[in-house]
């Protein structure tokens, strides 16, 4: 190794030195890359931030201009749609004046006057409570109102004649004939043969304590009483056709429609609804 070093001329540089790693990475003719100085890097960063700030400001200005245009359009359309009180037609003002007193009119929830003021009557039910309801859960609000009314009356332990229109469509026809309205909400309550109202009326009477006065004189059941025949469903399968709605006529030797049950093959429970 010593001789190899001596043979080389001191004036000539080796093109590739064995122990010089930097020359192995960069040839002699190529200069190593220069790192940018700190002042240059600072200038580049400030210019990039300035560009970003300018772009943000341009977006804000465009959005503000769009919002201004939208507000102007909204003000134009609102002014065109809302006429002044002087330009309103007389029919509309009369209609609104008719609606105002109807909101202030409320039921007198004092027990004697409330029952006496009711003009709608259900004949043959002067000794009981009749509730038209549904046991179907198709409409959640309706089912919840029916369930709430049932629980209120069960808290007083009074017997209630529950007429489920989902079990027998004849009850719906009966209710429509009494109230004279085809689009009726449920439940509808009659107490001592007189029409009381729906779920909201019963809840208000219960909260004010007037419902207990109205229910005076109605028979009370034993605590925890449940009908053994129907389980408080108020319906059982027809005893004549066993719920099939068909009976065999021996005289004509053919099947006929049973006349003792409804469209679902059910009859009222003879034990708790007689």
| Domain co-membership, 166 together with 199 | yes
| Domain co-membership, 120 together with 207 | yes
Please report whether residue 248 resides in a domain.
Answer: yes
| Domain co-membership, 115 together with 208 | yes
| Domain co-membership, 169 together with 208 | yes
The model carries a pTM of 0.59
Q: Give residue 155's pLDDT.
A: 93
Tell me the residue range of the domain where 258 lies: 235-268
Please report whether residue 246 resides in a domain.
Answer: yes
Mean pLDDT by 10 residues, the chain (274 residues): 48 48 49 52 55 65 63 57 45 38 40 66 92 94 95 93 94 92 87 94 95 91 89 93 93 92 95 84
| Domain co-membership, 186 together with 247 | no
Cα–Cα distance between 103 and 101 in angstroms, integer? 5
Please report whether residue 154 resides in a domain.
Answer: yes
Alpha helices in the chain (DSSP H): 2-7, 21-25, 38-81, 90-104, 111-117, 140-155, 170-179, 199-208, 210-214
Instruction: Match 């200038």 to its residue by tokens.
Output: 43
Cα–Cα distance between 241 and 233 in angstroms, integer? 19
| Domain co-membership, 130 together with 163 | yes
| Domain co-membership, 117 together with 210 | yes
| Domain co-membership, 152 together with 241 | no
| Domain co-membership, 202 together with 239 | no
Cα–Cα distance between 201 and 117 in angstroms, integer? 14
Please report whether residue 99 resides in a domain.
Answer: no
Cα 192 to Cα 88, 115, 124, 126, 180: the distances in Å are 48, 9, 9, 4, 20
Cα–Cα distance between 264 and 169 in angstroms, integer? 9
| Domain co-membership, 246 together with 197 | no
Phi, psi dihedral angles at 175 (to 5 degrees) = -70, -40
Please report whether residue 84 resides in a domain.
Answer: no
Give me the number of domains the chain comprises: 2
Please report whether residue 227 resides in a domain.
Answer: no
| Domain co-membership, 115 together with 197 | yes
Cα–Cα distance between 170 and 72 in angstroms, integer? 60
| Domain co-membership, 196 together with 154 | yes
* Residue from 258, 257, 213 nearest 238 by CA: 258
Cα 98 to Cα 85, 87, 94, 95, 108: the distances in Å are 17, 19, 6, 5, 21
Q: Give residue 225's pLDDT.
A: 87
Please state, as a whole number, how many other Cβ atoms lie within 10 Å of the Cβ of residue 230: 17
User: Bridge partners of 237?
Assistant: 266
Domain with residue 116: its CATH number is: 3.40.30.10
Please report whether residue 208 resides in a domain.
Answer: yes
Q: Give residue 100's pLDDT.
A: 36
Please report whether residue 79 resides in a domain.
Answer: no
């Amino acid at each position: 190794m010593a001789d190899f070093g001596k043979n080389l001329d001191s004036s000539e540089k080796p093109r590739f030195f064995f122990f010089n790693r930097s020359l192995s990475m960069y040839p002699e003719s190529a200069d190593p890359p220069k790192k940018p100085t700190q002042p240059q890097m600072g200038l580049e960063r400030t210019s990039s931030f300035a560009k970003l700030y300018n772009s943000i400001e341009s977006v804000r200005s465009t959005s503000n201009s769009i919002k201004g245009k939208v507000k102007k359009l909204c003000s134009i359309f609102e002014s065109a749609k809302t006429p002044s009180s002087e330009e309103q037609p007389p029919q509309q003002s009369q209609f609104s004046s008719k609606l105002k007193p109807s909101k202030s009119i409320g039921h007198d929830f004092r027990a004697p006057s409330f029952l006496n003021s009711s003009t709608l009557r259900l004949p043959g039910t002067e000794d009981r409570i009749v509730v038209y309801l549904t046991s179907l859960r198709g409409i959640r609000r309706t089912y919840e109102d029916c369930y709430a009314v049932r629980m209120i009356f069960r808290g007083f332990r009074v017997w209630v004649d529950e007429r489920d229109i989902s079990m027998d469509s004849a009850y719906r026809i009966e209710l429509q004939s009494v109230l004279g309205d085809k689009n009726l909400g449920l439940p509808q309550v009659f107490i001592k043969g007189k029409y009381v109202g729906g779920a909201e009326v019963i809840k208000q009477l219960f909260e004010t304590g007037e419902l207990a006065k109205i229910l005076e004189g109605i028979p009370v059941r034993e605590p925890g009483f449940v009908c053994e025949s129907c389980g408080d469903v108020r319906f059982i399968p027809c005893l004549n056709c066993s719920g099939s709605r068909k009976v065999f006529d021996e005289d004509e030797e053919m099947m006929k429609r049973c006349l003792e049950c409804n469209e679902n093959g059910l009859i009222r429970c003879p034990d708790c609804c007689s």
